[in-house]
């Protein structure tokens, strides 16, 4: 069995790559990390925990340890629970991340290749989704996952294009849900268009339906949205399963996940 990691590495150095105007997003990119090396700060911490001197430690070393801070539940590759979209979904109280059973997050999966069918800062059309699905040749697995390969893999955090991505609309999200998908994933930084683009659309039109409509569709049809996926180029179009397993964070609207495809 081949395992393919679809998870973006969390590297605190990436926080420094964000342009000044996007520094506020650092908490969804990577945590701040204080590293304690076994031969450095970890040695002192270990000796203090054991109430002994550094000279008493076997081999003169302690532990390796890291202190994490300044991070969001929507950090890196993460799974959104329905609570993220609003207090209700399908007319019932929205589920949190720990309300979702693991078997709902281990899914038969298809990849829709949208490269050349979508544009930066523009919504992905239903026609584009239909064309990519037809090209794939497989149907959407019932209760399964659909992953969108938009081409964002070609950008790093140092590139302006990383946050100028094609996004999903209410219509596109509901189309995939109506096809039977329960998990919806993307290689983009977000599911909807970026907040800057949505805000400009609202200023231009006064139409508040453009605000976060892709996510808000999850109030109508319960779906689990996965963002910041990596390595979608390594996947076949269909015929595999993916585990989208978030950390077990009580009462949370989302959690970082290790996402792995099983070929």
Q: Which pLDDT does position 21 carry in this prediction? A: 84
User: For residues 230 and 8, is the Cβ–Cβ distance under 8 A?
Assistant: yes
For residue 140, what is the domain's CATH number?
Answer: 3.50.30.50
Residue 59 structural domain? 32-69
Same domain membership, residue 164 and residue 36: no
Q: Is the pTM of this model over 0.85?
A: yes
Is 26 domain-assigned? no
Long-range contacts of 99-105 (CB under 8 A, 24+ apart): 100/224, 100/246, 102/245, 104/143, 104/182, 104/183, 104/224, 105/79, 105/183, 105/224, 105/243, 105/244, 105/245, 105/246
pLDDT digits (tens, 9 = 90+) for 207-221: 999 999 999 999 999
Is 55 domain-assigned? yes
Same domain membership, residue 255 and residue 177: yes
User: For residues 197 and 167, is the Cβ–Cβ distance under 8 A?
Assistant: yes
Phi/psi for 253 (5° steps) reads -85, -10
- Sequence-ordered strand ranges (E) for the chain: 3-5, 32-36, 65-69, 78-80, 88-89, 92-93, 106-113, 123-124, 145-149, 167-168, 183-186, 224-227, 240-246, 254-262
The pair of structure tokens assigned to 33 is: 């990390």
Q: Which pLDDT does position 20 carry in this prediction? A: 86
What is the rounded distance in angstroms from the CA atom of residue 161 to the CA atom of residue 19? 12
Same domain membership, residue 43 and residue 137: no
Whether the pLDDT of residue 74 is over 80: the answer is yes
What is the rounded distance in angstroms from the CA atom of residue 218 to the CA atom of residue 84? 9
Q: Which pLDDT does position 90 carry in this prediction? A: 99
pLDDT digits (tens, 9 = 90+) for 1-58: 799 999 999 999 999 999 888 899 999 999 999 999 999 999 999 999 999 999 999 9
> In the predicted model, what is the mean pLDDT of residues 177-182?
99
What is the rounded distance in angstroms from the CA atom of residue 21 to the CA atom of residue 13? 17
């Amino acid at each position: 069995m081949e395992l393919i990691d679809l998870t973006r590495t969390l590297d605190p150095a990436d926080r420094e790559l964000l342009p000044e105007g996007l520094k506020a997003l650092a908490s969804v990119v990577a945590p701040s990390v204080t590293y304690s090396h076994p031969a450095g700060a970890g040695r002192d911490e270990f000796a203090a925990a054991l109430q002994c001197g550094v000279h008493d430690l076997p081999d003169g070393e302690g532990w390796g340890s890291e202190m994490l801070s300044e991070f969001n539940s929507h950090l890196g590759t993460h799974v959104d629970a329905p609570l993220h979209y609003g207090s209700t979904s399908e007319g019932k109280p929205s589920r949190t991340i720990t309300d979702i059973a693991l078997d709902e997050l281990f899914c038969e999966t298809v990849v829709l290749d949208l490269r050349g069918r979508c544009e930066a800062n523009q919504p992905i059309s239903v026609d584009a989704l239909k064309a990519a699905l037809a090209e794939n040749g497989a149907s959407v697995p019932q209760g399964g996952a659909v992953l969108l390969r938009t081409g964002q893999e070609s950008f790093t955090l140092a590139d302006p294009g990383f946050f100028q991505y094609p996004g999903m609309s209410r219509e596109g999200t509901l189309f995939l849900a109506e096809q039977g998908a329960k998990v919806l994933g993307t290689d983009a930084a977000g599911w909807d268009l970026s907040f800057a683009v949505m805000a400009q659309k609202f200023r231009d039109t006064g139409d508040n339906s453009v605000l976060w409509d892709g996510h808000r569709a999850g109030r109508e049809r319960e779906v689990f949205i996965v963002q910041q996926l990596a390595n979608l180029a390594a996947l076949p179009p269909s015929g595999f399963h993916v585990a989208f397993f978030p950390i077990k964070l009580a009462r949370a609207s989302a959690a970082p996940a290790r996402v792995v495809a099983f070929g």
